[in-house]
Amino acid sequence: MILTGCVNVNGEQAVEEATPKAIPPISISRGINLGNWLEAPEPGDWGVMIEPRHFSAIREAGFDSVRIPVRFSAHASAHPPYTLDPIFMDIVDEAIQQGLQNGLYVILDFHHYEEIMQAPQEQAERFLAIWRQLAERYHEADDNLYFELLNEPHGRMDDGCWNDLLAKAIGEIRVSNPERWIIVGGVDFNHIDALDEIVLLEDERIIATFHFYEPFKFSHQGASWVENAAQWSGVQWTGSEEEKQAIETVLDEATQWSRLHGMPWLMGEFGVIAKADETSRQRWSAFMADQARQRGIAWIYWDICGEFQVMDCGTGKWDQSLLGALMGGR
Ligand code: BGC
């Protein structure tokens, strides 16, 4: 384990244990990310506005959960006590309520905290203060509200920093929410391999998450936020044995990890940009959802109406073929 500047309090606990453990069951099985909405700098900046009608459509389509990415860092003061903006928080309250009222599990995800990726130690106090406020605000909310600590740690947020910070954040949350499910992923943008470096805590209500976009040149072809992605236009996913095997191997590893540690796990993001050819996109999505289902991995598709969209949020129309591909096993 490489440490660059952050204290790793419990590093030695990361050593693997040998005996498989019972995995506590979780109720989430298939969901959708409400991406590009509350994690844009301001809601609406990235062209997505989610309304009550979308929540009922999500439920009717057969999803059981929504992940709501929120850029809390853009709505909290820069100085202690780092107060969250009450007007913005009304929008978050309403989003959570809409999800819960529609019978959906709701994952509240702290997304796009770019400053902490560059300066983990300087931002740690602010991160913890924001979680303290969120935990207090929602401590009486339905159990079907789950918290996700931080989307895709990367940059200077290495294993050492992250293990230190996640333990402290969970400590803050547990003061007011002793039983709530908390979702935690590894560094390197929630890469599956980074799960091995997470220091496991004595806490029965933690779910491990990973994100999966492989082959990346296929899923992210033409993505404006990824360097050189314009050159990948036209990359297909044909569903050859080799392509399938590459995915199955990784998912098998995830399954092993979960069994070894007795921790439920979740594929919190996966998807293909809408610029990819339709057939490849459906084929990959159907295969992924099916492979996850076979291994009992809960999944959350990225995303509803953003660049990986499965719905046109304006008209409320689903891409029925892609939806069908995801829901194949229903
Ligand atoms: C990022 C989004 C991005 C998506 C696919 C998410 O974790 O936050 O901005 O669109 O991954 O790359």
State the SS3 of the chain: CCCCCCCCCCHHHHCCCCCCCCCCCCCCCEEEECCCCCCCCCCCCCCCCCCHHHHHHHHHHCCCEEEEEECHHHHECCCCCCCECHHHHHHHHHHHHHHHHCCCEEEEEECCCHHHHHCHHHHHHHHHHHHHHHHHHCCCCCCCEEEECCCCCCCCCCHHHHHHHHHHHHHHHHHHCCCCCEEEECHHHHCHHHHHHCCCCCCCCEEEEEEECCCHHHHCCCCCCCCCHHHHCCCCCCCCHHHHHHHHHHHHHHHHHHHHHCCCEEEEEECCCCCCCHHHHHHHHHHHHHHHHHHCCEEEECCCCCCCCCEECCCCEECHHHHHHHHCCC
Could you tell me the pTM of the whole model?
A: 0.94
Residue 22 has a pLDDT of 85
Please give the number of the atom of ligand 1 that sits closest to the Cα of 190.
7
- The predicted-structure confidence for 186-196, as pLDDT tens digits, reads as follows 999 999 999 99
Mean predicted lDDT score pLDDT of the chain:
93
Is pLDDT above 60 for 2? Answer: no
Look at 18-27, 182-191, 219-228, 287-296 and tell me which has the smallest mean pLDDT.
Answer: 18-27
CA of 32 from ligand 1 middle (Å) equals: 13
Using the mean position of ligand 1's atoms as its centre, give its distance from the Cα of residue 43 in Å: 16
Q: Which residue has its alpha carbon closest to ligand 1 atom 12?
A: 220
Does the pLDDT at position 107 exceed 90? yes
Confidence of residue 20 (pLDDT cuts 50, 70, 90): confident
Least confident of 116-120, 219-223, 251-255: 251-255
Residue 5 pLDDT more than 90? no
- Distance from residue 309's CA to the centre of ligand 1 (Å): 12
Digit-coded pLDDT (tens) for 269-284: 999 999 999 999 999 9
Report CA(187)–ligand 1 centroid distance (Å): 15
Show the ligand 1 pocket: residues with CB < 6 angstroms.
Answer: 111-112, 151-152, 269, 302
- Please give the number of the atom of ligand 1 that sits closest to the Cα of 36: 9
- Average pLDDT (73-94) is 98
